[in-house]
Structures are given as C-alpha cells and as structure tokens.
Chain A
Amino acid sequence: MLNKLTKNLNQILLAVGTIILALIVGGVIISFSGNSPLDAYFSMFNGAFGSKQRFMEVLVRMIPLVIMALGTSVAFKANLWNIGGDGQFIMGSIFAVFVTIYSGLPPVIGIPVSILAAMLGGGLWAGLAGWLKVKFNANEVITTLMLNYIAVYFLSFLVYGPMMDPKGSKMPQTEIIPQAFRLPLFESGNRLHMGIFLALIIVIIMIFFWKSTVGFKIGLLGQGEKVTTYAGVSVKKMIVFTMIISGLLAGISGWTEIYGVQYRLLEGITSGYGSMAIVIALMGGLNPIGILISGFFFSALLVGGATMQRMTAIPFSIVDIVQGLIIIFIIARTAVNFKEIKNKIVRRMGHVK
C-alpha cells in the first residue's frame, strides 16, 4: 500500500517536473519574441482561473478532451498509434446529427440512439484503419491521419451541400438540433453542461475496463504479438476491436461537443482536439485518473492560452509549443536510462580518484 503510494507520488512529481521544464523552455521561446514569460504565464493562469466563468469554460473544454484522450489511451496501450481522433470525432458527430435531424424520433429514444450513432461513426472510422492494418499491413499512423483529412472534407461537403440548413442564410452549417435533444446547462451565463457527468462516468468505466479480461488482453497486445497469441487471443481480431473501442470513445467525445456546446454541425468543430488528446493521454500515463488530471491541466492551458492571445502580443501557438515539448520530455525521460548514467558518473569519479 505504502509502496503504491510512493510510486504514485513519484509519478505525480515527475509529471509536475515535466510540465515545469516545458514551461521554462516555452518561457525562453516567449522571451525571444520580446515578451515577458512571467506576464504570459500570469495572463494564461488568470485566463483559465480568473473568474468563475473562465473556470467553467475550462471544464467545458475538458469534457470532449478527456473522453477522446481515454479513447486514444486504449489504442496506445495496445501499441496501436491511432492519431485519427479528430476524424473519429467528426464522423461520430455526423452520424449523430444525421439521426437526430432526419429520423424524427422522440427525444426519449432519439437521444440514446444519437449516442449510439456517434459511437458507430467513430468506431467504424477507427475500425477501418484497424482492418486495413491487419488485412493489408497498412501503417495505422498514416491511415488514421489520412482519414482525418477525409472526414474534414466530408463534413465540409455536408455542411455546404446536402445537410446545409434549409432555413439558414446559406451559412455552412446544419440546422440546429431541437432543445429537447441538447445536454442541459448547469446554469445560464456559462456553457458548462451535463456532459461533465458523462465524462466522469466514462473515466470510472475505464478504470474497471482495464481491470477486466478485455482490458487485460488489450494490454497484452501492447506487450508484443507473441504473448497475445500464446494467451489464446486472435491478434488480428483484437487489433480491430481495440481500434473500434478507441474510435467509439472519440465519437462520444464529438457527441458531447455537438449536443452540449455547438448544437449543430459546422466546419472546424474539432478545434484540433485530436493532437491535444494524444498529449493528454501520454501525460496521464494512459491511466484514466491520470488522464482526468492531465485533461484538466491542458484544458486550462487551452482556455488560458486563448485569453493570453487576446490580452498580450504573444501568439496562441505557444500552447502548441508547450504541448510538443511536454511529449518530448516525457519520451526522453522514459528513454534515458538514469541508472546507466549514474553508473557512468560513478565510474568516472572513480577514475578521477
């Protein structure tokens, strides 16, 4: 018990250290631009936590990000590099809105059906990449990425074409989904919606998922194909299955954004959540609680960064820079063998004596 506690504490300290290091390097880059890093970070912090409304906005961003990062973590645990979260998010959203607008189902049935449709859209899109991998040995990194572009253009085709709001003023967007289908808001004045509970429930489900046989098998997949074959699991089926799970979570993430925030399909609905979900999943150690915490941190960075850009002359891209740096430090940390370096130093010191 105590062992586990110190292990967790170590992990948290390492994570905090990584973030601080990334912020320091990011600060150096900010100072290149002739701005003060302290001003930048203060404005970012204030932008995320300065008022109740801003804090609520952090939570709003956190909902789709955490759900998508959980999806990403499923694939990553199996060493499947699904970086197509954006595409799966979009396909999930398209399927869901399609059902809601055209089926005419009453909300009682229509809402659950729209969630299932979102899961189907996201799952199919990721499953396709999984199937191409096992069937044709096509690298999933490239296929999931290409499927992102295809989804983006498909969405754009729909909102400019067949799904464009017939009553709207030729804006590239679908008609708005009826009030009864939307996720209720907590209070007027900010955008926080009930989707936050959905996100928390999914975090809890994922904790149990990793303890289940299925979760265990997915973990095995990540430890090499041989092991999985020995454990009596069909590797090919598991790869497709893992990708589907990963994608359906991205689909749900799209559903929360559409039914909780946007209420319609329009271009650019993912706002680059996909790459951020990768960072969140890795920073969270692919662990549901870790993802929840790192999801909160990165949502704050996102909201704070947007405020900083408005308040100062520092571009928002510093947020991307910090994200990239954090992943680099994480992989550098796990790749460098600290023991080896320590031994080397000890040996050298010995020579000096």
Chain B
Amino acid sequence: MLSNIFTVSFFVSLLASTIRLATPILLPALGQIYTQRAGILNLSVEGTMTIGAVAGFAATYYSGSLWLGILMGMAFGMLYSLLMAVLSVTLRANQVIAGTALNILGIGLAVFFYRVIFGIQSLPPQVEPFQMLKIPFLSEIPVIGVILFQHNIIVYLSFVMVVITWFILEKTTFGLKIKAVGENPKAADSKGVNVSKYRYFAVLIGGIYAGAAGAFMSIAYLNIFTESIIGGRGFIAVAVVIFARFLPIRAMWGALLFGVASALQLRLQALGIDVANQLMLMLPYALTIIALVLASKKADFPSAYAIPYSRKER
C-alpha cells in the first residue's frame, strides 16, 4: 500500500510545494538576517507580514497590478518596522516587549483596515494571483523541471535574494557596517560608524522583506486575505535565522526544511491519507523547537544581540 503512495509523482509534487512553501519563510528570514546581525531581535515580523499581506492585497484588488501589490507590501512593511526601529534603537526599549506589542498592534491594524476597506461580504474578495512562470527549456527537464522551474516569479526572485543578501552582507562596506554595529557597537562608533543609523537601516530592510513575504501570502500563494494568513511564519522565520546562524545560504536550507514539513502535511491530506491532520499541522512548529534546540548552543550570536546601544554607557 505504501508503494502506491510514495510514487515518483508524489515526491515531485512534494518537493515542488516544498519550494513554494519555503518562500514565505525564506524572504522574512533573509530580512531578519540584516536585523539580527545588527543586534536587534525583532519579534514583530508576524505583525509586519500581516500588514504587508493586507497592503499588497488591497493594492492589487483595486489596481489589478500584482507588482504594485508586492511594492505596497514592501512599502508598508518598511513603514511599520519604522516603529520597531524607533522603539528599539532610539528609545532603547525592551525588544521582546516591543516586538510583542507590535504584533498585537500590527495584526489589529491589518484586520481593522481590511474590514474597513472591504466590509463584510458573504464571499471573501479575491484577486487573480501570480501565474506559474515556466522557465523555457529548464522546465522541460523531467522531474527536476517540475520541481524547480515551474513556480511563480516571486518564488524565483526570493531564491535569487539569497545570493544578493549574502553578497551585500559579506562583500560590501554596507554589510560590514551592519555586522559591526551588532558585533561591537562601541568599536564601530569610535571608527565613525553611526550605530543608530545602521541599526535603523537593518530594521527597515527586515521590514521590507517581511512586507514582501506578507504580500506573497495574499497575492502569490493564496488569493485572499484572512486574519491568520501568516500563521506563525514570522516567528518561524526568526527561529530560522538563529538556526541558520545568521547566514543566508543556511537560512535557505532552514526555510526548505520548514517547507518540506508543511508540504508533507498538505500532500498527505490531498491523498486522503488518514494520518490525523492536526498532528501533521503541528510538524513545522515542533520542527522549529527542535531546530532551535539543535542550533542555539552553537549559534554565534552577535555580541550586542538584543542590547540597546547608548553612547553614554561606554
């Protein structure tokens, strides 16, 4: 019986949806690599993504343009994370509490404005999501073509961002400064690096990625908006960053690991296999805990992780 289930086509569709489901974790995780590298633990990714999801959805619904939706998701994600930057960098507030507050506020604002814009409708408003973009020739390759080259454009771009994020952090002065303000803000300050400025940049970049990922959920994955559309992916992304020890390539593997856990649940359910569905739904969350447990002892946290910087306390 098992051989009937675990066929080639099962694995192909499993791995293809793994890649699709990894995307909304990969994108915010890449953004949070900047933020966490700069020494800020931003727990409000979940709220920021929900804001991005509603902004992207509304923009696409009224303009008909999916790209405008992604752009608005990014813009609102950045705007919203500005609050986190003010609280954590300028006001030097406790980052855990600030993040928790911004999650409650963010989800509240997103749902509020969704209701105000769309009212109560018997059928939820929908948009036409991004279509699959088959890469010529490559998508024709058997098995691999279906797994890797039959996705929508945002999926491809997210994986391209892995390389770009790596390049910016490792090969540019900007990346060096981001890391410096997280590793040793005092030394960076004495070398003339404006600590606050670079921490602001790091939080805002994280917000842009999170906003894009939120918009991905509402206009490139589902084609509706719901209150729980993000479903903990923002928190999982924060955990993936720690699991990946703050490295983009590893974050990609981490995101794929979560992708496979979610994909497995969806595929098995689609096949109508009687593994209690709710137990399968736990998988990504349990995996997050296991990943954290395995990685946290070894993770080389930036020295100034979650510690506000003040020039006076030198």
Residues of chain A whose beta carbon lies under 8 Å from any beta carbon of chain B: 29, 32-34, 81, 83, 132, 136-139, 141-143, 145-147, 149-150, 153-154, 156-157, 160-161, 275, 278-279, 282, 315, 317-321, 323-325, 327-328, 331-332, 334-336
Q: Are A150 and B286 CB-contacts (below 8 A) given A33-B112, A318-B112, A331-B98? A: yes
Q: State in angstroms the CA–CA spacing of A297 and B96 once bound together.
A: 24
Other A-B contacts than A142-B242, A147-B289, A328-B83, 10 sampled, CB-CB below 8 A, are A29-B112, A142-B238, A142-B292, A153-B281, A160-B278, A315-B116, A318-B112, A323-B104, A335-B93, A335-B94
B43 contact set on A, CB distance < 8 A: 141
Q: State in angstroms the CA–CA spacing of A318 and B111 once bound together.
A: 9
Partner of B104, one of A143, A157, A324: A324
Q: State in angstroms the CA–CA spacing of A278 and B105 once bound together.
A: 13
- Assess whether B281 is in contact with A320, with CB atoms less than 8 Å apart: no
- Assess whether A320 is in contact with B278, with CB atoms less than 8 Å apart: no
User: Counting CB contacts under 8 A, is B100 at the interface?
Assistant: yes
Ranked 5 nearest A-B pairs via Cβ: A324-B105, A320-B108, A327-B101, A157-B278, A315-B115
Q: Are A317 and B115 CB-contacts (below 8 A) given A157-B279, A332-B93? A: yes
- Assess whether A315 is in contact with B235, with CB atoms less than 8 Å apart: no
- Assess whether A132 is in contact with B289, with CB atoms less than 8 Å apart: yes
Q: Within residues 214 to 239 of chain B, which ones have a CB less than 8 A from any CB in chain A?
A: 232, 235, 238-239
User: Counting CB contacts under 8 A, is B282 at the interface?
Assistant: yes
A282 contact set on B, CB distance < 8 A: 97
Q: Closest Cβ of chain B: how far from A334's Cβ, in Å?
A: 8
Q: State in angstroms the CA–CA spacing of A34 and B294 once bound together.
A: 51
- Assess whether A331 is in contact with B87, with CB atoms less than 8 Å apart: yes
User: Counting CB contacts under 8 A, is B109 at the interface?
Assistant: yes
Partner of B297, one of A136, A160, A319: A136
Main secondary structure of the interface of A (DSSP, over half): helix
B267 contact set on A, CB distance < 8 A: none
- Assess whether A81 is in contact with B108, with CB atoms less than 8 Å apart: no
Interface size on B, residues (CB 8 A): 45
A138 contact set on B, CB distance < 8 A: 289, 292-293, 296
Query: Which B-chain residue is minimally distant from A319 (CB atoms)?
Result: B108
A156 contact set on B, CB distance < 8 A: 278
Query: Which B-chain residue is minimally distant from A336 (CB atoms)?
Result: B91
16 contacts between A and B (CB under 8 A): A81-B96, A132-B292, A137-B296, A138-B293, A138-B296, A139-B242, A139-B292, A146-B286, A153-B279, A275-B100, A320-B104, A320-B112, A321-B105, A324-B106, A328-B98, A335-B91
Q: State in angstroms the CA–CA spacing of A11 and B304 once bound together.
A: 32
Residues of chain B whose beta carbon lies under 8 Å from any beta carbon of chain A: 43, 83, 87, 91-94, 96-109, 111-113, 115-116, 232, 235, 238-239, 242, 276, 278-279, 281-282, 285-286, 288-289, 292-294, 296-297
Query: Which A-chain residue is minimally distant from B108 (CB atoms)?
Result: A320
Partner of B102, one of A142, A145, A324: A324
A137 contact set on B, CB distance < 8 A: 296-297
Partner of A324, one of B93, B108, B113, B239: B108
Query: Which B-chain residue is minimally distant from A158 (CB atoms)?
Result: B278
Q: Are A328 and B100 CB-contacts (below 8 A) given A136-B297, A315-B111? A: no
Q: Closest Cβ of chain B: how far from A29's Cβ, in Å?
A: 7
Q: Closest Cβ of chain B: how far from A30's Cβ, in Å?
A: 9
Partner of B285, one of A132, A136, A146, A278: A146
Partner of A146, one of B87, B106, B289: B289
- Assess whether A150 is in contact with B111, with CB atoms less than 8 Å apart: no
Instruction: Count contacts between A and B, CB distance < 8 Å.
Output: 141
Q: State in angstroms the CA–CA spacing of A150 and B101 once bound together.
A: 22
- Assess whether A325 is in contact with B105, with CB atoms less than 8 Å apart: yes
Q: State in angstroms the CA–CA spacing of A270 and B102 once bound together.
A: 21
- Assess whether B104 is in contact with A331, with CB atoms less than 8 Å apart: no
Q: Are A142 and B107 CB-contacts (below 8 A) given A317-B112, A335-B91? A: no
Q: Closest Cβ of chain A: how far from B47's Cβ, in Å?
A: 8
A328 contact set on B, CB distance < 8 A: 83, 87, 98, 101-102, 105
Q: State in angstroms the CA–CA spacing of A156 and B235 once bound together.
A: 21
Query: Which B-chain residue is minimally distant from A128 (CB atoms)?
Result: B289
B91 contact set on A, CB distance < 8 A: 331-332, 335-336
Q: State in angstroms the CA–CA spacing of A138 and B298 once bound together.
A: 11
Q: State in angstroms the CA–CA spacing of A161 and B160 once bound together.
A: 43
A136 contact set on B, CB distance < 8 A: 292-294, 296-297
Q: Closest Cβ of chain B: how far from A54's Cβ, in Å?
A: 23
- Assess whether A150 is in contact with B108, with CB atoms less than 8 Å apart: no
Q: Are A321 and B100 CB-contacts (below 8 A) given A146-B285, A153-B281? A: no
Partner of B239, one of A142, A161, A279: A142
- Assess whether A157 is in contact with B276, with CB atoms less than 8 Å apart: yes
A317 contact set on B, CB distance < 8 A: 107-109, 111-112, 115
B242 contact set on A, CB distance < 8 A: 139, 142
Query: Which A-chain residue is minimally distant from B94 (CB atoms)?
Result: A331
Q: Closest Cβ of chain B: how far from A137's Cβ, in Å?
A: 4
- Assess whether A141 is in contact with B96, with CB atoms less than 8 Å apart: yes
- Assess whether A335 is in contact with B92, with CB atoms less than 8 Å apart: yes
Q: State in angstroms the CA–CA spacing of A149 and B289 once bound together.
A: 11
Q: State in angstroms the CA–CA spacing of A336 and B101 once bound together.
A: 17
Q: Are A154 and B116 CB-contacts (below 8 A) given A141-B43, A327-B100? A: no
B92 contact set on A, CB distance < 8 A: 335
Q: Closest Cβ of chain A: how far from B307's Cβ, in Å?
A: 13
- Assess whether A153 is in contact with B278, with CB atoms less than 8 Å apart: yes
A153 contact set on B, CB distance < 8 A: 278-279, 281-282, 285
- Assess whether B292 is in contact with A279, with CB atoms less than 8 Å apart: no
Q: Closest Cβ of chain A: how far from B183's Cβ, in Å?
A: 19
Q: State in angstroms the CA–CA spacing of A262 and B100 once bound together.
A: 28
B111 contact set on A, CB distance < 8 A: 315, 317, 320
Q: Closest Cβ of chain B: how far from A77's Cβ, in Å?
A: 13
- Assess whether A327 is in contact with B97, with CB atoms less than 8 Å apart: yes
